[in-house]
Structures are given as structure tokens and as C-alpha cells.
Amino acid sequence: MRDTVVVFARAPRLGMVKRRLAKDIGARAALRFHVATLTALLRDLLACRRFDVVLAVTPDHARFRLPVRVRRIDQGHGDLGCRMSRALRRYRRVALMGCDIPDAGAADVRAAFRRLGSADAVFGPAVDGGYWLIALGPRRPADLFGASRWSTEHALGDTLRQFRRHQVGFIRRLPDIDTLTDWGRRFATSV
């Protein structure tokens, strides 16, 4: 069975994606950013051909088009931890990542799977205290996320407590784009 990478994303709908960022740059610009970042990531992952790529979408049964073809699954109900757990449990060796990290790509996923050779779990830490990638081998805690405080600077630390009896590795720390400040730090030099 091949390794699998699951990309977690909201269906690209006006007013439903990147809402904190949209408050400052507008809903249309936030939607364009979401679609562009998601499309670029999927193209890069699919071009790698070293693992299977799955797009996990919320809300369930959402209908939309992207300029790239990829297998889709529904995220299902529950909070973020519940939805991520469900997706991760489908696969023996799996990486799950968000889609709002412009600098992340297939090379990072390859690095995470390599690290799984000596670790039970691998995390891609985010600058804000969360994480943008989690990769798991077959040995994992029964409760993957516990009471993780999502969308806070505590998300990674909370999740790591669940893995205290497991060997954990890390790949590079990257910024995600949630706010205008994040946007400015990432894109100020490229304008």
C-alpha cells in the first residue's frame, strides 16, 4: 500500500474561506488566494507521484471545480480534531496537511515520510504555534488530539502531549496565512 497525503480544505465558496483574512482583503481576494494556493499545492503533490493524493473537503458533498483533478473525500462531521482523526485512520502511513501554507509542497511531504522511518509521528510546525502537517506511521495513540485548542498558539503543544509515549520528529517550520499580518510578512517581499 502506498503512502497517502490528505490535503484538508474548505470548498472554495465566496465568504466561506479564509474569513479572518477576508475581513482585511475582502472575500473575493481571500477566495482567489485560497483557490490559487490549493491548486498550486495539489499540482505539486500530484506531480511527485511518490504517494497518493486525496483532497478532504468540508462541507460534505460540496460541488466545485478546480483546474486540477484529484480524488476527493468528505471530512465528515465534528470539530477539526474529529475530522482529522477520521481521515488519518483511513491509512497506514499518511500525511495530512492544510492548504494555506504557500511555501509547503511535495518536498516537505517526502521529508515527512522519510522521517517516519525513525519516528511514529512527524509534525510540520507553524510559526503561530500550530502545525501545518502531521504524518503518522502505524504506531499511534488511540486519541490523536485530545483536547487540543485549535487555531491557537497551543495547538501543537496540546497535540504533542498525546504523543508523549511515541517517537516524534519535525520538519521545517513554516508560516500559514490567516491574517493580514501573515499576508504582509509572506508577500511584502514579492510585491
User: Would you place residue 1 in the very low, low, confident or very high pLDDT band (cuts 50, 70, 90)?
Assistant: confident
Asked if the bond preceding 138 is cis, omega within 30° of 0, the reply is no
Residue 189 pLDDT greater than 70, yes or no: no
Mean pLDDT throughout 108-131? Answer: 96
Angstrom distance (rounded) from CA 62 to CA 44: 23
Q: What is the pLDDT of residues 167-178, one digit of tens each?
A: 999 999 999 888
pTM of the model: 0.94
Q: How confident is the model at residue 158 (pLDDT cuts 50, 70, 90)?
A: very high
Q: Is the pLDDT of residue 190 over 80?
A: no
CB-based burial of residue 117 (10 Å sphere; 0-12 exposed, 13-18 middle, 19+ buried)?
exposed
Tens of pLDDT along 35-50?
A: 999 999 999 999 999 9
Sign of CA pseudo-dihedral 100, 102, 103, 109? positive
pLDDT, mean of residues 48-68 = 95
| Residue 151: predicted pLDDT | 87
Q: Does 122 have pLDDT greater than 90?
A: yes
Give the rounded percent of residues in the chain with a pLDDT score beyond 90: 87
Mean pLDDT of the chain: 94
Tell how strand 121-125 and strand 131-136 pair up: antiparallel
- How is domain 4-185 classified at the CATH fold level? Spore Coat Polysaccharide Biosynthesis Protein SpsA; Chain A (3.90.550)
